[in-house]
């Protein structure tokens, strides 16, 4: 007797949960329709995903709305997938059937174009990855400044990749020109005229300036240039292909000997 009562209670509880889930699904679907009509496609997709979660499956109405939202998002690959699911689940007398039918050709053509573009981007990415793989084998893990995806962030620099690269160069050169003792050159018996010291260094994966080298017309100038470069601040490391990497950089220090 007790066993039978337990079974009945369990069945009632299961039915109640199922009914509650169905109500939640209906509520989220109404919310999805509302947010779609407001032009909030992101929220509409989130509400549709929750609809499917509570319902435990999909249906033609849900798939039709998915199609409309993905078209609005210009995501024709996803729209094509949902359109296929719609026709797999809908009868010909469904309220959205003719509308979905009218979208088939346009969705298919645009989805095909997007797939071609995605494939091109994947092939391009693969070629770049293969290039860097060979590059790393030949030169090591450091990436040259000219091809780095995101250069080290010099303190105070902001902006997009191009702006950050320009800011990095100008700040480093400004720092070196200020901190390099240019009066030293006049004490070394060098011929008068314009001179240059060439510096090369790495900004390591930790953001520190290391492996400093210099070419100069006098050993004392070489030593002074290395000293000035060692004083460069710690930076946010360079980033390439989603990884913190070292970056190679070179810069001149120009001065005049009287």
Domains and CATH numbers, the chain: 2-116 (1.25.40), 143-257 (3.30.1150)
Which candidate, 47, 40, 45, 118, places its Cα nearest to that of 77? 118
The backbone torsions φ and ψ at residue 180, rounded to the nearest 5 degrees and listed phi first, read: -75, 130
What is the largest distance, in Å, between two alpha-carbon atoms of the chain?
Answer: 112
Please determine, for residue 18, whether its predicted confidence score (pLDDT) is greater than 70.
no
pLDDT score, position 135: 67
Rounded average pLDDT over 232-249: 90
244 vs 222: CA distance, rounded Å:
30
* Its pTM surpasses 0.75: no
pLDDT band at 74 (very low <50, low <70, confident <90, very high): very high
In the numeric block, the tokens 């290039």 are attached to: 131
Do 202 and 144 meet the contact criterion of CB atoms below 8 Å apart? Answer: no
The H or E element spanning position 197 is strand 193-203
Cβ contacts of 114 within 8 Å, gap of 6 or more: 75, 76, 77
């Amino acid at each position: 007797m007790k066993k039978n009562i337990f079974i009945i209670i369990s069945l009632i509880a299961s039915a109640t949960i199922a009914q509650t889930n169905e109500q939640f699904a209906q509520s989220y679907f109404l919310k999805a329709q509302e947010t779609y009509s407001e032009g909030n496609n992101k929220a509409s997709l989130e509400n549709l995903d929750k609809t499917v979660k509570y319902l435990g499956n999909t249906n033609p109405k849900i798939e039709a709305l998915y199609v409309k939202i993905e078209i609005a998002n210009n995501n024709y690959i996803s729209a094509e997938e949902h359109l296929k699911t719609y026709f797999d689940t809908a009868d010909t007398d469904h309220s959205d059937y003719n509308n979905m039918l009218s979208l088939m050709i346009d969705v298919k053509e645009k989805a095909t174009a997007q797939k071609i573009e995605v494939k091109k981007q994947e092939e391009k990415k693969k070629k770049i990855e293969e290039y860097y793989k060979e590059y790393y084998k030949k030169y090591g893990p450091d990436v040259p400044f000219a091809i780095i995806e995101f250069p080290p962030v010099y303190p105070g620099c902001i902006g997009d990749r191009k702006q950050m690269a320009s800011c990095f160069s100008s700040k480093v050169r400004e720092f070196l020109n200020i901190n390099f003792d240019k009066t030293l050159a006049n004490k070394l018996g060098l011929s008068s005229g314009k001179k240059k010291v060439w510096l090369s260094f790495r900004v390591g994966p930790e953001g520190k300036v290391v492996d400093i080298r210099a070419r100069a017309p006098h050993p004392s100038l070489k030593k002074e240039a290395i000293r000035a470069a060692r004083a460069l601040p710690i930076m946010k490391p360079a980033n390439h292909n989603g990884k913190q990497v070292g970056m190679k950089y070179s810069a001149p220090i120009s001065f005049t000997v009287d």
